[in-house]
Chains A and B, each alone.
Chain A
Amino acid sequence: MNDEVGGNQRRARFQALCQSLRPDLLRFAFWLSRDRALAEDVVQESMLRAWKARDSLLDETAAKPWLLTIIRREYARTFERKRLPTVSVDELVAKEEPMLAAAEEQNINDVRAALMKLPDEYREPLVLQVLMGYSTAEIARELELSGPAVLTRLYRARQQLRAACGEDLSLDPQE
């Protein structure tokens, strides 16, 4: 009886935790996959995996990075399980237009369109840094890269985005 009450409390607590983190998790999954439906599937599956592996979460304050790691792995598994159809970036942008066009300002939509076209290897560390607040060391650990490799990717990500958005690059460092 006590076990059942404890189990229910634990479920409710986990449910509340997932609920509070859901927007950020979905945004992360969306920018990984650039596909809202796939992002929702990945997050849902990840939460189930997280529940099964809940004993490995020793500190609840670390829940967000823990869940983000599970989401990255789950997204990778999606490709292992089935070969997703190849879709051009323009098709992806068109497909996600309702989500991307939600911003009122055109200049935000320009950045979103450029983000959709950014290579995965640049987009992922950028999302972790800007959206999730990861430090360079944390990104390096998550992506299994060296610190300098992370900084290079972040530099190139911003360089490509700014160029795509028509920013003034006259003061940019020349490579």
Chain B
Amino acid sequence: MMDHRQYRSAIMADPHDADPDLLAHRGSCAECRAFTEQLLRFEARLERALRVDIPTKAVVLPFARKGAQETRRWMAMAASLLLALVIAGGVWLTLPQRSLAAAVVAHMADEPYAWQLTDVPVPDAELNAVLEDSKLRLKPDAGVVSYARSCNFRGHKVPHLVVQTQSGPVTVMVLVHEAVRKSMQFDEHGYRGTIVPVPGHGSIAVLMRDASSRSGEVERIAARVDDSIVWTR
């Protein structure tokens, strides 16, 4: 049976909560009903206060400003870029793993919140949805996964996970579409990481944000992550 304190605490967190227990308590308690009415009056003020006036203005996005002059400029740029790409492509092909590491590091900048130090695990359903896309699951001893998203990475959806370890949060990207010949280490822009091949399943990238972490730490974690993955196809 809900008491006054429980009711008022719950209704202060969400005045529109229609939980049956809350409704039943309100129906039987005049004082809590008065409290709710007082709170809902304040809620109406709050809603109006948050709805600040926004000056009416058309959205003008730079990608929408098109014109013949701009088109010509883009064509000229495209021709220059094509030449540059031909040259850069040669370099790219000779350094595929380095490019992959750079792309992984670049991806980190898009999701700074992922690195939050927390012991709150991602709900199982959310984690499983992310992993199922890549036909894998994690063993229960994989550790606390505090972040799980399906991210666009080089044209494919890949699982981007953050696992909380004793050494702090560690990012894991499962790169099913990125086969590498051998393990490689990188240390760029404050990230220390490794990309390890997973025969038949592409590769796994593991990164730590603390570039001062102990030597070999990332590699040890990567090996543990690799062991925790169960491929379902």
Contact = CB atoms under 8 A, between A and B. Distances in A.
Interface string B62-79: 111010000000000000
Contact of B50 (A31, A72, A145): A31
A117 to B, nearest CB: 13
A48 B60 CA distance: 10
B42 A72 contact: no
B5 A173 contact: yes
B34 A56 contact: no
Contact of B12 (A111, A115, A158): A158
A26 B50 CA distance: 11
A22 B61 CA distance: 12
Give the dominant DSSP class at B's interface.
helix
Interface string B89-100: 000000000000
Interface string B46-66: 111111111001110111101
Contact of A80 (B4, B12, B112): B112
Contacts of B152: 53, 55-56
Given A48-B62, A76-B112, A111-B46, A168 B38 contact: yes
Nearest to B31: A171
B213 interface: no
Interface string A36-62: 000000001001100101011000000
B14 A72 contact: no
Interface string A123-140: 000110111000010000
Range for the number of chain A residues in contact with chain B? 35 or more
A158 B34 CA distance: 17
Contacts of A145: 120
A159 B48 CA distance: 18
Contact of B52 (A72, A102, A168): A102
Interface in A19-38: 19, 22-23, 26-27, 30-31
B123 to A, nearest CB: 8
Contacts of A172: 8, 12, 35
B52 A173 contact: no
A127 B50 contact: yes
B13 A47 contact: no
A165 B41 CA distance: 13
Contact of B51 (A73, A131, A161): A131
A171 B118 CA distance: 35
Contact of B113 (A11, A14, A144, A167): A144
A73 B58 contact: no
B64 A15 contact: yes
Nearest to B32: A171
Given A15-B61, A72-B113, A144 B8 contact: no
A126 B159 CA distance: 30
Interface in B22-40: 31, 34-35, 38-39
Given A72-B113, A167-B38, A112 B147 contact: no
A95 interface: no
Given A76-B112, A112-B52, A144 B62 contact: no
A136 B45 CA distance: 21
Contacts of B66: 8
Interface of A: 8, 11, 14-15, 18-19, 22-23, 26-27, 30-31, 44, 47-48, 51, 53, 55-56, 72-73, 76-77, 80, 99-100, 102-103, 107-109, 111-112, 115, 126-127, 129-131, 136, 141, 144-146, 149, 151-152, 154-155, 158-159, 161-162, 165, 167-168, 171-174
The 10 closest A-B pairs by CB, nearest first: A111-B49, A151-B13, A154-B13, A171-B35, A173-B8, A155-B13, A23-B54, A102-B53, A173-B5, A131-B50
